[in-house]
Amino acid sequence: MKEVFTIGYAGFKINEFIRVLKEYKINSLIDVRSNPISKFYEEYNQKNLEKLLSSTGMIYRNYRKEFGARQEDKKYYKNGYLDFNLYTQSNNFLEGIRKIEAGTKSNYTFVFMCAEKDPSTCHRNIMVAREFYKLGYDVKNIRSDGSYESQESMEKRLVERYFPNRNQLTLFSESISWQQMVKRSYDLRNSEIGYRIDEEAGVNWQVI
């Protein structure tokens, strides 16, 4: 089965970060930050990270255009925040998928990197990795202790968050399937974490 990883660098010191990538035999890192600079983790700034990964034989690429959470085109901000369902149908996003699929066939093992420790709070999973999961990829979300969480497990956590009383439905409650709960949970999370536009100031490229 095809596989793809995700990771949040905030949970790692840089040496441990590199060790974990090697442990999973990852050879290509896809940085999905729209602005690949960190105020608090300078070793993860684009130039520093790219140089370090290169020295260990890994490839670094920034896919802000394809997979970034902050897109400039306001048509993707349907409700004031980036609509993941809408943006994942864009030409840029689909081109990103095409490039990853081509790389996978050429024996590259990819990890999508952003900042947050928990994949359920980051667009690297809720927007990006979700689409690869739908394409049949085995998505492995690397935790800060070096273990990983499957996409199925992460989805169960989302449903537990948004449908905690799902087993207590009454005769008067609307019937909803598991898949509907999963989809609704992704949408609710999108509404919480989706990047929001200030209509007067435009897109705020905040460094995080």
How many DSSP H helices and E strands does the chain contain? 9, 6
Sheet strands side by side (includes 138-142): 59-62, 28-31, 110-114, 3-8, 138-142, 148-150
Query: What pLDDT does residue 207 have?
Result: 45
Domain encompassing residue 12: 3-193
List pLDDT tens digits, range 23-73: 999 999 999 999 999 888 999 999 999 999 999 999 999 999 999 999 999
Instruction: With a cut of 50, say whether residue 199 has pLDDT above it.
Output: no
Q: Position of tokens 């207590």? A: 168
How many domains, in total, are found in the chain?
1
Amino acid sitting at position 157: R
**Could you tell me the end-to-end alpha-carbon distance of the chain, in angstroms, rounded to an integer?**
34
CATH number at residue 34: 3.90.190
Residue 205 lies in a domain: no
12-16, 38-42, 167-171, 173-177: segment of lowest average pLDDT: 167-171
Rounded to an integer, what distance in angstroms lies between the CA atom of residue 49 and that of residue 36? 10
At 166, is the pLDDT very low, low, confident or very high (cuts 50, 70, 90)?
confident
**CA-CA distance, 198 to 46, in Å (whole number)?**
26
Cα R_g (the chain), whole angstroms = 18
Q: Quick check: is 163 in a domain?
A: yes
Contact 194, 81 (CB under 8 A): yes
Confidence (pLDDT) at 169: 57
Residue 202 lies in a domain: no
For the segment 135-153, what is each residue's pLDDT rounded down to a tens digit?
999 999 999 999 999 999 9
Whether residue 164 lies inside any domain: the answer is: yes
Q: Residues 88, 97, 156, CA angle at the centre, nearest 5°?
A: 65
Backbone angles phi, psi at 48, to 5 degrees: -65, -45
